Structure 1
Amino acid sequence: MTSFVAYLRVSTDRQGAFGLGIEAQREAVRRYIKTVGGHLLAEHVEVETGRSATRPILLQSIAQCRREKAVLLIARLDRLARSVTFVSSLIDSGVEFVAADNPAANKVMLQMLAVFAEYERDQIAARTKAALAAAKARGVVLGQNGKILAASRRAEAQTFAESLRGIIEEAIDSGNATLKDIAAHLNMKSYCTREGQQWTAQTAQKVIQRLGLRTAAMKQNQEATDAL
C-alpha cells in the first residue's frame, strides 16, 4: 500500500483562518487516495503565496517523504507552485509526487502545466503593477503596509524555527556540540533550510538563536566570556 503525505496550500492568512479552499483540496486528496487504495500518512497545510519559493511547510513535507519513502500528494498543480523552475527542481529532487487533478501526468506534462500556471501568475502580476501605477498617479500613498509585511516575515521565520525545535533539541541531546555538528545532523535527516538549501553552521546558528537554544560549545564560549 502506497503511503502519501498531503500538502495543502492557501494563499492568504484569511483563507488559512477560515479554511477557504482547504476543504476542497482535502476532499480531492481523500478521493484520490480512496481510488488508488493508498494510506494518508500525514497532512501539512501552508499559508503562503504561489510566487514565494521559501515555503517551510512544503520543505518539511518533502523531507518527510524522503524519510518515510512516501509520495507527496497535492490536490492541484497550481497549489504547488506557479513556477517552472520550482516544479523542475522538485522533480529533480527525486521525491515522487502526484497531483490529484491529473494523476496520469508525467514529468513533461507537469512541466508544461507549470508553464501555463507561471504565465497566468505573470499576467496577474502585470495587472497588479498597472493598477498600482494608476493608483500612485491619482496620489494614493503606497507602501504603508511595509511594517506589517516585515512582522509577517518574522512570524514566518519563527514558525519555521519552531517546526525544527524537536530535531534540533534531539541533536543537542545526542551530543552534537558544535553548530557544524547540528548542521550535519539536519542534513543527514533530510531537513532543508527555508530556501531549500543544505544546512551550514551559519544557518543553523540563526535558527538555534531564534529558538533560544545553545549547543555545548556555545555554553562553553559563554562561560569563558563570563569568566573574563
Structure 2
Amino acid sequence: MATNDGKFVCYYRASTGRQGRSGLGLDAQRAAVATYLNGGAWQIVDEFTEVESGKNSDRPALDKALAAARLHRASLVVSKIDRLTRSVAFLSRLLEAGVDVRFADLPQIEGATGRFLLQQMVAVAELEAGMISARTKAALAAAKKRGKKLGGNRGVKPTAKMRALSTAAIQKRADVRAADVAPTVKALQAAGKTSLRAIANGLNEQGIPTARGGGTWSAVQVARVLERL
C-alpha cells in the first residue's frame, strides 16, 4: 500500500447517540484511517466527530471539518464512503466545498479522480430519485384508474394557518413565475406587441410554458402576469 503525505483532517461519524457515547464504530473508523495513512510524512491537523443520522445533511461537525481542511489546505479523510451519505443535495454541497476528499476504503480514489467519482455518485443518485418518482406516479395513476380514491384530507381538517400558508406558497410560486416570464414579455412589448392577445400569441410562438406547464397562453393569463410585475 502506498504511503500518504501531507496534511489531513479526519471526520468520523456515529449513526446514533448510543454509538457515539460507547465509541462503537468510532474506534473502527480511526483504525481504518490509520491504516489508510500507512506511515509517510503525513500530519493530522484536526479531527471532528459527529453523532447524527446519515440522512441528515445538516452536519455542523462536517462543516467545521471542511472549513479546517480549507484553512490548512488539507485533505478530508473519511473511513468509508457511506460515512458521507448518498444524498444528492449533500454530495452536491460536498463537491462545491473545494476540498480534496479521501476515503479509507477506496485508497485509489483521490484528487481529480475522487471528484469525478463524487460527480458520478450525484448523477446516479439523481437518476435513482427520478426513477422512484416515475414509478410512484405510475402506481398512483394505475390506482386512480382502478377507481381508488386518492388524496383528500384523510381526517385532517385544514386550519386557518394551514390555509394561509398554502395561499402564501401559491402566491410565491406565481411571483417567481411572473419574474421568469417578465424579460420575454418586455421584449415582446418592445417589438410592438402591446395587447394582451398579442403578448399571449408571442409567448405561445416561442414555446414558453404556462404556469401550469401545459396548454397555451391566454390574454387573461398575460394580464395576471402583468399585475405581478
Which band: TM-score by shorter chain? 0.3 to 0.5
TM-score (norm 2): 0.48
